[in-house]
Amino acid sequence: MKFLIIFFAIILSRSSFADSNLFNEFGDKEKIVKVVDDMFVFVFLDERIKPTFEKLDLVKTKANLVDFLCVTMNGPCTYSGQNMKRAHKGNEVTATHFFALTEALQMSMEKNSIAQRVQNKLIAKLAPMSKDIINK
Amino acid sequence: MTIKSFLFLTTFFYSSFALANYDVSGKLLLTGGATQIEGASGGGITPWAFIGGNGTKEQVGANAFYTSVITSDYRLESLGVLIGIYDRLELSLARQVFDTQEVGILLGLGRSYKIKQNILGLKIKIIGDAVLDQDSWLPQISIGTFYKENRQGATIKSLGARADHGLDIYLSATKIFLSESILANITLRSTKANQMGILGFGGNLNDSLELQFESSLAYLLTRKLAAGFEFRTKPDNLKGIKEENWGDLFLAWAPTKNISLVGSYALLGTIANKDNQTGYYTSLQIGF
């Protein structure tokens, strides 16, 4: 029991101040650009999502995604793209597609040596967006 | 591991790889859970609210597993399969073989007397998504059941058990606190099984269903590796054959989507009059 209490105490003490500077923990905007670039390498290796992204203007998509991730992490950027619901409407995105893209992002962050707990914090912010993305 | 179970797992392994080219295994690594000792998706000794297999809500997934627990005086093997349908429904089948080894002589059953048990499991996800619902405190909640049938009815009744079959019903709540890299699970189980049913159901001390509490807590070290501990309270129904709570410390590793391995140090207390049963739990899971 004592072990449990200490365990939770450590977790709570770590989480209280960690949220606002996720962008700083991640690195800088350059780092996000690198992660997004590498992510698309994994995307185009994945037959489940490759066809969807092949149809898009890649330069624009990447730039939008960089801004979107930056804003999501409370970074000093402006996202001028469509909101998640509108951006994915009618695209028939399945849970499988959503997880496939998540996996590509995870592999890219792994490749770019983003700490696991920082990776998980970003995924935690992106995961609830699935409500606006899957089957919309 | 017997040759039969080895062949069974090998066949499953190759068919999993063959299926890898189809639209399967959409879940993220480890988010289908391992297979716990009674055949349901979970940790080592506790079922979780996850639906087993790697299928998302559009897919069907399946697993085969083999688990061996070797304690100071006993050996338990568990082998089985499960299917997960649309991340909603889980069906599982497991067979446990409990080897009494030298204790068999003391119990008057003979050296390495084996008690076998078949377990049919069913689990339904009621609400929530342990992975996706990161913006709410609501866990993923599932309700499940195990129908257990002990094949050595006469023997376990002679030890004091009232029945050779029984039904466990459980409610599991599992949540991944992703921003903290933590997985937490709480399970409430109604049961009268003695040592999971290996020593039968009900007894001369108590023959009614009791509510038991089970819990797991894990830290997600990487997307492929998790470490944690579990705790499970147990009934104590048999006069003269004490039963104690269980605990374990585990490491779960999913090198690929088709394979996961769990290694754990298990603290199983007193089992059939042999106290302080500690030992190693290893589990291999193959699936898609």
Altogether, the residues listed in chain A come to a count of: 136
Question: Would you state the pLDDT for residue A18?
Answer: 46
From the list B58, B64, B49, B56, the residue with the least C-alpha distance to B27 is B56
Of these ranges, A2-6, A12-16, B36-40, the one predicted with the greatest mean pLDDT is B36-40
Cβ-count burial A77-87 (b if 16+ within 10 Å, e if not): beeeeeebeeb
Q: What is the mean pLDDT of residues A116-121?
A: 96
3-state secondary structure of A5: helix
Query: Whole-structure pTM over 0.90, yes or no?
Result: yes
The answer to whether the CB atoms of B221 and A19 lie below 8 A apart is no
Chain A CB within 8 Å of residue B132 CB:
yes
User: Is A13 a residue whose pLDDT tops 60?
Assistant: no
Question: Would you state the pLDDT for residue B14?
Answer: 77
User: Is A16 a residue whose pLDDT tops 60?
Assistant: no
Higher pLDDT, A36 or B14: A36
Tens digit of each residue's pLDDT (9 = 90 or more) over B95-130: 999 999 999 999 899 999 999 999 999 999 999 999
Q: How confident is the model at residue A20 (pLDDT cuts 50, 70, 90)?
A: low
The answer to whether the CB atoms of A124 and B223 lie below 8 A apart is no
Tens digit of each residue's pLDDT (9 = 90 or more) over B195-227: 999 999 999 999 999 999 999 999 999 999 999
| Single-letter code of the amino acid located at A17 | F
Q: Write the residue in A48, A99, A124 that is nearest to B134 by C-beta.
A: A124
Q: What is the mean pLDDT of residues B64-70?
A: 97
* A115 CB-contact burial (10 Å; exposed 0-12 / middle 13-18 / buried 19+): exposed
Rg (CA), chain A: 16
From the list B143, B212, B211, the residue with the least C-alpha distance to B174 is B143
User: Is B252 a residue whose pLDDT tops 80?
Assistant: yes
- Give dist(CA B258, CA B54) in Å, integer: 9
Query: Hey, which residues 23-42 in chain B have their CB within 8 Å of chain A?
Result: 23, 26-28
Strand-pairing partners, residue B181, are none
Question: Would you state the pLDDT for residue A8?
Answer: 60
Chain B CB within 8 Å of residue A111 CB:
no
From the list A40, A18, A44, the residue with the least C-alpha distance to A115 is A18
Cα-Cα-Cα-Cα dihedral of B112, B67, B248, B220, to 10°?
Answer: 170
Q: How confident is the model at residue B41 (pLDDT cuts 50, 70, 90)?
A: very high
The answer to whether the CB atoms of A124 and B179 lie below 8 A apart is yes
Q: How confident is the model at residue B21 (pLDDT cuts 50, 70, 90)?
A: low
Q: How confident is the model at residue A91 (pLDDT cuts 50, 70, 90)?
A: confident
Question: Would you state the pLDDT for residue A58?
Answer: 96
> What pairing do the DSSP bridges indicate for beta strands B89-99 and B75-85?
antiparallel
* B144: enclosing H helix or E strand: strand B140-150
- Give dist(CA A45, CA B142) in Å, integer: 35
Angle between helices A95-111 and A116-126 (to 10 degrees): 150
Question: Would you state the pLDDT for residue A15?
Answer: 52
Residue B136: list chain A partners with CB under 8 A.
Answer: 128
The answer to whether the CB atoms of B58 and A102 lie below 8 A apart is no
User: Is A2 a residue whose pLDDT tops 90?
Assistant: no
Residue B54: list chain A partners with CB under 8 A.
Answer: none
Chain A CB within 8 Å of residue B21 CB:
no
Q: Mean of the per-residue pLDDT values for chain B?
A: 95
Question: Would you state the pLDDT for residue B185?
Answer: 98
Question: Would you state the pLDDT for residue B8?
Answer: 81
Residue A7: list chain B partners with CB under 8 A.
Answer: 217
Interface confidence, given as ipTM, is 0.89
From the list B93, B10, B85, the residue with the least C-alpha distance to B53 is B85
User: Is B239 a residue whose pLDDT tops 90?
Assistant: yes
Q: What is the mean pLDDT of residues A90-118?
A: 95
- Give dist(CA B116, CA B111) in Å, integer: 15
Q: Half-sphere exposure (CA, 13 Å, Cβ side) for B262?
A: 32
- Give dist(CA A66, CA A133) in Å, integer: 18
From the list B23, B17, B34, B30, the residue with the least C-alpha distance to B283 is B34
The answer to whether the CB atoms of A94 and B56 lie below 8 A apart is yes
3-state secondary structure of A31: helix
Q: What residue of B is the nearest CA neighbor of A95?
A: B56
3-state secondary structure of A9: helix
Per the CB < 8 A criterion, the answer to whether B42 and B283 are in contact is no
Q: Which of A120, A122, A123, A135 to mutate to test the interface with B (most CBs of B within 10 A)?
A: A120
Q: Mean of the per-residue pLDDT values for chain A?
A: 90
Q: Which of A1, A20, A49, A99 to mutate to test the interface with B (most CBs of B within 10 A)?
A: A99
Question: Would you state the pLDDT for residue A62?
Answer: 97
| Single-letter code of the amino acid located at B249 | L
User: Is B1 a residue whose pLDDT tops 80?
Assistant: no
* Angle of CA points B36, B42, B44, to nearest 5°: 40
Per the CB < 8 A criterion, the answer to whether B98 and B113 are in contact is no
Tens digit of each residue's pLDDT (9 = 90 or more) over A40-64: 999 999 999 999 999 999 999 999 9
